[in-house]
């Protein structure tokens, strides 16, 4: 059957799903029933939705599909980290990573928000890729659903019995530059009658898109992580161009005002350890001054190299010394263990091979002035 013309039900908000049901002449309560099948049971086949009449099953199949992104590659690291290269209906690709805890009982799914990224952070592989487009709500929720398919976590298990226990919006792209779609997707994920993941188990990481941070806290209430990586505007301007737009002072003010942050729910400051760039004892002390008064914790990330990157990771003894200074001041400052490096699934390594070819094609089209408005160049 050619499903190309059928609409995907995944990614619609509850209101949108109800509107679809009204459109095909069904009662609104059908949307609630369907929601359960889609997001609690993970069912993709209308014929297996047994609480729905045969007549309605047929009507649904006439108009809709329940589609997942296609799994193009499925790689498992020696350390059990797993990475899916997903292909979307238009041929674009993005990556999703599952990072089990050491005991493999629970773990986080690292989700992408865009294909590529417009922000050209110097240490990040994704940043070397042009943004092709924002991911849709269906493509964002779809990443988590693919992971649940792979581990058979349907129907939604009890909170305590889930391998896929957390979500981190730390894959490819800047989530706060695709806020509407990320918000729709996360609201679906947090809905108690479906996937039912608590906002406390979701962390959104941003490079510091200051004007969107308040909305993120108010509308979603998820945990916030800031990719800080430098303690002076000079250094941050150099390694993270977004700092020129939203410098440290503004970023820290937005953190202080982040709704819902408290000592029990601290803001995570992510800090990549770059040899000779940001890793001195003086940097660590300046970091403490910078976050003074904020409910903060740290995550020190040893730099993960990628082909052509201009940095080196700090020596472990420097990383340790840096961590000790933060911990002596009373903060949690674990050193993130690199996971999945053998399958290029570690932080900052996501970037698909086939994308590179597409990007060079896109660059040519932009140069020739024939690219469309969905294709954005990094500024």
Q: Which residues bind ligand SAH (CB under 6 A)?
A: 123-124, 170, 174, 205-207, 227, 270, 272, 301, 303-304, 347-348
207 binds ligand SF4 (CB under 6 A): yes
Question: Which residues neighbour 139 within 8 Å (Cβ) at sequence distance 6 or greater?
Answer: 11, 69, 86, 88, 94
List the catalytic residue out of 216, 255, 313, 347. 347
Q: 77, 166, 184, 227: which one contacts ligand SF4 (CB under 6 A)?
A: 227
Question: Which residues neighbour 301 within 8 Å (Cβ) at sequence distance 6 or greater?
Answer: 270, 271, 272, 273, 336, 347
Please state the closest distance from residue 96 (CB atom) to ligand SAH, in A.
Answer: 13
Q: What b-and-e string marks burial along 93-111, b requiring 16 or more CB atoms within 10 Å of the CB?
A: bbbbbbbbeeeeeebbbbb
Calpha distance 122→120 (Å, rounded): 6
**Cβ atoms of residues 144 and 195 within 8 Å:** yes
Cβ-count burial of 90 within 10 angstroms (0-12 exposed, 13-18 middle, 19+ buried)? exposed
Q: Is 95 a catalytic site residue?
A: yes
Closest to ligand SF4 by CB, 153 or 174: 174
CA dihedral 227, 233, 239, 243 (to 10 degrees): 60
Binding marks (x or -) toward ligand SF4, 345..374, rule CB under 6 A?
Answer: ------------------------------
Q: What are phi and psi of 6, to 5 degrees?
A: -85, 145
Please state the closest distance from residue 365 (CB atom) to ligand SF4, in A.
Answer: 22
End-to-end Cα distance, the chain? 43
Binding partner of 137, given ligand SF4, ligand SAH, none, CB within 5-8 angstroms per partner class: none
Closest to ligand SAH by CB, 134 or 205: 205
Closest to ligand SAH by CB, 65 or 119: 119
Closest to ligand SF4 by CB, 101 or 353: 353
**CB nearest ligand SAH: which residue?**
348
224 binds ligand SF4 (CB under 6 A): no
List the catalytic residue out of 43, 95, 139, 153. 95
Q: Does residue 155 have a cis peptide bond before it, meaning omega lies within 30 degrees of 0?
A: yes
Closest of 150, 126, 21 to residue 73, by C-alpha: 150
Closest to ligand SF4 by CB, 114 or 166: 114
| Rounded (5°) CA angle 170-221-159 | 75
How many residues form the binding site for ligand SF4 (CB under 6 A)? 10
Please state the closest distance from residue 81 (CB atom) to ligand SF4, in A.
Answer: 18
Please state the closest distance from residue 117 (CB atom) to ligand SF4, in A.
Answer: 3
Q: Is 20 a catalytic site residue?
A: no
Binding partner of 304, given ligand SAH, ligand SF4, none, CB within 5-8 angstroms per partner class: ligand SAH
**Cβ atoms of residues 151 and 144 within 8 Å:** no
Contacts to ligand SF4 from residues 113-142, by CB under 6 A? 117, 119, 121, 124, 126-127
**Cβ atoms of residues 202 and 191 within 8 Å:** no
For the annotated catalytic residues, the residue numbers are: 95, 347
Positions touching ligand SF4 (CB under 6 A) are 117, 119, 121, 124, 126-127, 173-174, 207, 227
């Amino acid at each position: 059957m050619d499903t190309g013309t059928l609409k995907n039900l995944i990614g619609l908000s509850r209101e949108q799903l109800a509107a679809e049901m009204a459109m095909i002449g069904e009662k609104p309560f059908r949307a609630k029933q369907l929601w359960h099948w889609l997001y609690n049971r993970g069912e993709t086949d209308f014929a297996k939705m047994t609480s729905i009449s045969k007549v309605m099953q047929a009507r649904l199949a006439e108009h809709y599909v329940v589609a997942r992104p296609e799994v193009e590659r499925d790689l498992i690291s020696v350390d059990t980290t797993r990475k899916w290269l997903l292909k979307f209906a238009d041929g674009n690709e993005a990556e999703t990573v599952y990072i089990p805890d050491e005991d493999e009982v629970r773990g986080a799914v690292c989700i992408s928000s865009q294909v590529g990224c417009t922000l050209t952070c110097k240490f990040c592989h994704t940043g070397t890729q042009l943004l092709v487009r924002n991911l849709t709500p269906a493509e964002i929720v779809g990443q988590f659903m693919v992971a649940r398919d792979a581990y058979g976590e349907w129907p939604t298990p009890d909170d305590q019995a889930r391998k896929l226990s957390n979500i981190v919006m730390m894959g490819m792209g800047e989530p706060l530059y695709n806020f509407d779609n990320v918000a729709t997707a996360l609201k679906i994920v947090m809905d108690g009658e479906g996937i039912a993941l608590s906002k406390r188990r979701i962390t959104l990481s941003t490079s510091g898109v200051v004007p969107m941070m308040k909305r993120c806290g108010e509308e979603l209430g998820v945990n916030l992580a800031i990719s800080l990586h430098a303690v002076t505007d000079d250094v941050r301007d150099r390694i993270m161009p977004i700092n020129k737009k939203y410098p440290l002072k503004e970023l820290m003010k937005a953190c202080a005002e982040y709704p819902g942050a408290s000592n029990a729910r601290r803001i995570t400051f992510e800090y990549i350890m770059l040899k000779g760039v940001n890793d001195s004892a003086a940097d660590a002390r300046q970091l403490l001054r910078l976050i003074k008064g904020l409910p903060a914790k740290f995550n020190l990330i040893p730099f993960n190299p990628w082909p052509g990157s201009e940095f080196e990771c700090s020596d472990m003894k420097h990383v340790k010394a840096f961590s000790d200074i933060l911990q002596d001041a009373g903060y949690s400052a674990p050193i993130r263990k690199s996971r999945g490096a053998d399958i290029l699934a570690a932080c900052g390594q996501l970037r698909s091979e086939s994308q590179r070819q597409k990007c060079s094609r896109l660059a040519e089209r932009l140069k020739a002035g024939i690219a469309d408005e969905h294709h954005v160049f990094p500024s």
